[in-house]
Amino acid sequence: MSTILFDPRQAPIDALADEPALDLARLELDWLRNRFIAPCDWQAEFTDEHLLRDPARALTPAAVLVPLVAHPEGMRLLLTKRTAHLHDHAGQISFPGGRVDPEDQDEIATALRETEEEIGLARRHIEVIGRLPDYLTGTGFQVAPVVALVHPPFELLADTFEVAEIFTVPLAYLMNGAHHERRSAEFPNRPGRRSFYAMPYEDYFIWGATAGMLRNLYHFLRA
């Protein structure tokens, strides 16, 4: 979710994580539920992306839903492509979510509300199973990733002001370290070179905070 004033696709690949793919048994509904009920010790990973933010500005609380969709051929992750005119994270691949409102009871309520507003996914289809560590973005957001199972059949309706496209990616693809690229670039109007993760999939370039949170999901499920 770093600013897209430059083309992240042009940033060089410094390294591939090149860690093994998760066993498919770890990507099944019951296993995922049980991992959040009884998690193992694990270590979250963060890049230096957060150093891009203006330290004089307070962090903005936010929450996103990490929606794992049950599918006969294996779990899939639901993502959105943001519209190009937005002020924050324009054109980027993102989880549904947004800023915490004062009326929200907690970050889970924020993630559910924003998901319904952005993509029309009704709450009755969503089974929240846990949370990942907060992620600090270069644009000054403190994001709570709320992980959920999504049960079909369901209908989606994009808010066309915010969402240009809704799509899914096989979870097995994203939970394979061979697809985790470590890249670096000099961001406009920010000193120094900063690193970030990218996980390209077909025509979609998943990078920044979205890739960083997926990287932590990989670590969590792999532990």
pLDDT at 22: 98
Question: Cα separation of 223 and 210, whole Å?
Answer: 20
Is 2 within a domain?
no
Q: How many domains in the chain?
A: 1
Which structural domain range is residue 122 located in? 8-222
The answer to whether position 3 is within a domain reads no
The CATH number for 187's domain is: 3.90.79.10
Residue 46 lies inside a defined structural domain of this protein: yes
Residue 154 domain-assigned?
Answer: yes
Structural domain includes residue 1: no
Instruction: Flag whether 180 is in a domain.
Output: yes
Is residue 83 one of the residues assigned to a domain?
yes
Could you tell me if residue 81 is inside a domain? yes
pLDDT in tens, the chain (223 residues): 334 457 889 999 999 998 999 999 999 999 999 999 999 999 999 988 877 777 888 999 999 999 999 999 999 999 999 887 655 555 789 999 999 999 999 999 999 999 999 999 999 999 999 999 999 998 899 999 999 999 999 999 999 999 999 999 999 999 999 999 999 988 776 667 889 999 999 999 999 999 999 999 999 999 9
Residues 6+ apart with CB under 8 A from 135: 46, 142, 143, 145, 209, 212, 213, 216
